[in-house]
Structure 1
């Protein structure tokens, strides 16, 4: 073993999601519902902008924070969603992952605490750990995956530096209520901590009257960081493009991390990103809504209790009745039924599994049939 490596790495493991995706690939005929990736390809009108950018010689270093055209387009997009950030308060990043990393690197000192409402995407805990912070988990399951004021108050401490909000949530698909957002706002103002909004699914919402934290609480603009990505609504996962928006004083510090970590996002993709922001995501969202309905109906018929997803493209059914770990359930489902999901334990939600319905309709329908048979066999056996 190499000596004297970064101790923060010692407790981190490779992605468990990718481990189950790999097991699915290795199993002949298995249908994978593991990755949160649109099954559709990036629309051709967006791809065509790359060819134009290359033909125009856009192969040189862009500004570190992103091209002026793209930052203007992002600021305009945010304005249309009720968020007031200028182009100088936007950084174009290498996906939302880099935006989150850069934000935490800029915020955290050793021992600072970050509250993560659970269940949650495992990335947050890893990024906090890498940046020498401490994760404080807030269990939302007893409250229908919402943030209860009393429960939040119990985990806010002297070292609380930030809370991460994801709405719609990965893995549950639940949308945070106004009451949940208000509970966070009240304590953030009282105890003076930051709110990091991972809004990557905010255009894939199926409920009326959706508000994100930054939209609902503009009075806390000075301590709000908004992170987003082109990956989900525009089927651009492989492009690795995202952005971060925050007050100018904070963006100035985050920009230093971004500059030294990646220098800049790729130059000739940024014109295509402008085109993406001008495109209509409603057809994509409606396809996911139809798949959501198909999944919830199938899971109800199968008898697996499942919170109705209000957005994103995940369902999080309970498998507690079978008395086995979620890892065992998912491993057996791959081997015995040819359908791959992700153990809820990887998100802090043991007793559940996450399935992604971002795949093609025919695959999804067959996977749900297989899952139903598998569950039936477990009950009989």
Structure 2
């Protein structure tokens, strides 16, 4: 039998946090421990569960029911998206965040943010380059980096394992000096963060930008959860236009529940956009035409009707309520350190045992699914991630699940 590539063989042999999450969440695992799917309470899925906008549904219907528009939706768009979709994005960004100087030529649209992030790594990094990630940080990024080109990952810790405090703001000077010393080609940040749902401060992001200019590197900011911030006032960097050192990554998955209607984009300087144009021609050819057309129609309607901000406000309120329910249940039942979400869909809890062992124990003993923390960084090895997003409209199940987690934690500590 012909062999697979060395890189693929290495990935198959080594543990992957994403594969581990999927294996825990499989029906075969539930059956192994005597549960049916409807008996499992899952805090593992990293997705939103609010309704998509009615006007977005109407936009799809209008395209599908119009012979000419539907025919057009089956054609190839340009490799990095149509001008109409890019203009809709600039209107979207200005309306919500006050981003006034974003131009269509600074936007490249991909099939989704995962794909375009992978391509971005390929065009920014050489194998000998360093990329800086915070610890903790999203678990899929290291795998993407390794598959793209094996650049060297370095970490900067922003979680005190003893006090369980997210201390990024207390370490801004240290972070700045760390960048100057290590000279990473890319400084990769996420805000709000997955897995902690922390929102980086303006001072922290500005320190990264200042350092990047001094060492001639890129700050890449993943804003997948940009719309889901609980504070009424957004960080100032949400309105920053791209510069030669500053790139942002965006997703259509979270704010409008477009998880399966895949679309993502980057906002970047023109040389990076040209690089993505070259790369995407080989990796995915072009973005989805139907989703782009529906997005454009919806944004035009929502801005005219002034329905976009109320829609997002309602979604944010629902997730903030789910976050508060989760925190109340943790304090009532678990009584263990956790991180207070500032947005997003997540919190992490300290379990003081190996998170992977606890995840398996919680499934086996109580039918509760969490995500082990090791894939997000060394700071979370004895933690698990809790996602309240899928249960945003089932708050009683959040309470029930946390209560059962406390029973699982008590028994594993006794053993």
Aligned equivalents of 1:18 and 1:303: distance in 2? 28
In structure 2, runs of 5+ residues without a counterpart are 303-307
Question: Which of 361, 366, 385 is matched with 1:337 structurally?
Answer: 366
Q: Identify which range, 157-166 or 111-120, moves more after superposition.
A: 157-166
Distance 1:235 1:179 in 2: 31
Distance (whole Å) between structure 2 residues aligned to residue 232 and residue 128 of structure 1: 23
Question: What TM-score results when the alignment is normalised by the length of structure 1?
Answer: 0.91
Matched with 1:35 is 45
Q: Decide whether aligned partners of structure 1 residues 265 and 145 sit closer, same or farther in structure 2, where only a CA change above 3 A counts.
A: farther
Q: Does 1:49 align with 2:55?
A: no
1:292-347, CA deviations, whole angstroms, 9 ceiling, x for partnerless residues? Answer: 11011111122011111101010101111xxx210011111111111100001121
Structure 1: any 5+ residue segments left out of the alignment? Answer: none
Q: Give 3-state SS (helix, strand or coil) of 1:117's partner.
A: strand
Displacement after TM superposition at 1:200 (Å): 0.5
Q: What residue number does 2:264 align with?
A: 242
Deviation sequence 1:7-48 (CA, Å, 0-9, x none): 376246552322222266544211111111112353443233
Mapped partners of 1:248, 1:271: distance in 2: 24
Runs (4+) of structure 1 exceeding 6 A deviation are none
The count of residues paired between Structure 1 and Structure 2 equals 376
Quote the offset at 1:373 in angstroms. Answer: 3.2
Q: Which residue is equivalent to 2:305?
A: none
Task: Give, in angstroms, the shift of residue 212 of structure 1.
Answer: 5.7
The Cα shift of 1:368 comes to 2.2
- Which of the residues 118, 133, 156 maps onto 1:138? 156
Q: Does 1:88 align with 2:105?
A: yes
Q: Distance in 2 between matches of 1:140 and 1:7?
A: 31
- 2:350 paired with 1:350: no
Show the counterpart of 1:22. Answer: 26
Q: CA deviation at 1:63?
A: 1.8
1:170 and 2:201 aligned: no
1:118 pairs, out of 125, 135, 140, with 135
Mapping for residues 191-340 of structure 1, pairs under 5 Å: 191-211=215-235, 213=237, 215=239, 221-275=243-297, 277=299, 278=302, 279=308, 280-301=311-332, 302-320=334-352, 324-340=353-369
* Structure 2 Cα separation of the partners of residues 211 and 64 of structure 1: 32
TM-score (ref. length: structure 2): 0.84
Report the Cα distance in structure 1 between the residues aligned to 2:198 and 2:268, rounded to whole angstroms: 25
> How far 1:184 moved relative to its partner?
0.9
Distance (whole Å) between structure 2 residues aligned to residue 352 and residue 172 of structure 1: 11
**Structure 1 residue 49: deviation in Å?**
2.3
Deviations 1:147-193 (A, max 9, x none): 62314533555662101110111001111123321321221121111
**Cα distance in structure 1, aligned partners of 2:386 and 2:153:** 25
Aligned-residue CA RMSD in angstroms?
A: 2.3
Distance 1:371 1:294 in 2: 15
Deviations 1:122-142 (A, max 9, x none): 221112112221111111113
